[in-house]
Amino acid sequence: MSIWNSEKKAVLEAAQQMAQKGLVVGTSGNVSMRISEAGGRQLLAITPNNRYYDLLDVDDIGIVDFQGECVEGELTSSIETMLHIGIYKARTKVNAVIHTHPVFGSILSVIGAEIPPILDDQVTYLGGEIKVAEYSLPGSQELVRNAVPALGPRNAVILANHGTVTVGRDMREAFTNCEMLEKTARIYIYALGAGKIKPLPTDALEMEKAYFNYLHGESS
C-alpha cells in the first residue's frame, strides 16, 4: 500500500463523484490534492490522463512532484498537471484543485462572461466575482499563465471555451466550491434571461470579502 493512500483515495472519490454528478462527461476534467512532506518536498496526487473514472482504483492515481515528474504510478498523469502545480505554487493555502466541464459554467466560458458578485454565498465561498481566463490550448503553459492570475485570490475561475476550476483548503471544500460555482452560474444565466441583475450592496460585499480573505487570504 502506498504511503499516500489516503490522499489518492480522496482524489479518486472526488473524481468519481464529479462524474456521477454530471460535472464532466467521459474522461474530461481532473482532480488533485497537495501533499506536503515533512522535509519540505511538495507533491500532488492527481488523476491520470484519458481514463474513465468509474474504472479507476486507488493505485491508478499518480503522485507527481512540482516539476511534473512522476514519483509513483504507472499511468500518465492528467494533461492539466502543470495547471494544478501552478495553482499550488501561487496559493499556499490551497490543498485541492478540481477542474470540471459543467453545463452552466461552460455556457459562460463560451460567451466570455464573468460573474459579478450577485449572491452572499458566492462571495463567502468563492471570494467574489468569477473571472474568465483568456483562451489557451488544454495542457499548455499558456493556460497556466492565463488561468492562475484570473483565479487570483478567489476559489473559482472560468476557462474560456473550456470549463471551470475550483480550489479549496481540502477536497471537501474544493468540491463544495465546484458545486457552488455551477449553482451561481446557473442563477446568473437565468437572471440575465429575466432581464435584470441586482448586485450585492457595496457594504455587504466588502464585509463578505473581508470574511473570505480572513479564511483564505495568503497573508492571514
By annotation, the residues acting in catalysis are 80
CA distances from 59 to 6, 7, 180, 214 (A): 11, 11, 30, 37
Render the burial of 114-127: b for 16+ CB within 10 Å, e for the rest: ebebbbeebbbbbb
What is the C-alpha end-to-end distance of the chain, expressed in Å? Answer: 37
DSSP string, 80-134: THHHHHHHHHH-TT--EEEEE--HHHHHHHHHT-PBPS--HHIIIII-S-B-EEP
* Cα 182 to chain centroid, rounded: 12
